[in-house]
Amino acid sequence: MTVSAAWYLTLAAAMFSIGAIGLLVRRNVLVMFMCVELMLNAANLTFVTFARELNDVGGQAVVFFVLVVAAAEVVVGLGIIVAIYRRRLGATADDIHVLKG
């Protein structure tokens, strides 16, 4: 039994939407980071699916770049959270409100 590419693309689109909605709805910064990871991995899944469809190795190579960037981004993000934590306790976006707007 084979699973067609459309299913993978649908799954990726669903993952991407869940990530995007989660980022906009959730208030915990750590969960927001996880949502960004979900979105990036949805993009990775799309790349791999298309690479297989097109029989082109380029799309698979891209995934490595995206993974590395995602890792670098998380490192900086967690660093920023720690820097804020050291001044105050809690990682809820609503508590970070010195700047208006």
What string of DSSP letters covers 11-75? HHHHHHHHHHHHHHH--BHHHHHHHHHHHHHHHHHHHHHHHHHHT-THHHHHHHHHHHHHHHHHH
Q: Using the minimum distance from each CB to other proteins, give the nearer residue, 2 or 101.
A: 101
The answer to whether 50 touches 59, Cβ cutoff 8 Å, is: yes
The answer to whether 31 contacts other proteins (rule: CB under 8 A) is no
The answer to whether 77 contacts other proteins (rule: CB under 8 A) is yes
The answer to whether 11 contacts other proteins (rule: CB under 8 A) is no
First-to-last C-alpha distance (Å) of the chain: 53
The answer to whether 34 contacts other proteins (rule: CB under 8 A) is no
Residues forming contacts to other proteins in the complex (CB under 8 A) are 9, 12, 16, 19-20, 23, 29, 32-33, 36, 39-40, 42-44, 46-47, 49-50, 53-54, 56, 58-59, 62, 65-66, 69, 72-73, 76-77, 79-81, 83-84, 87-88, 93, 96-101
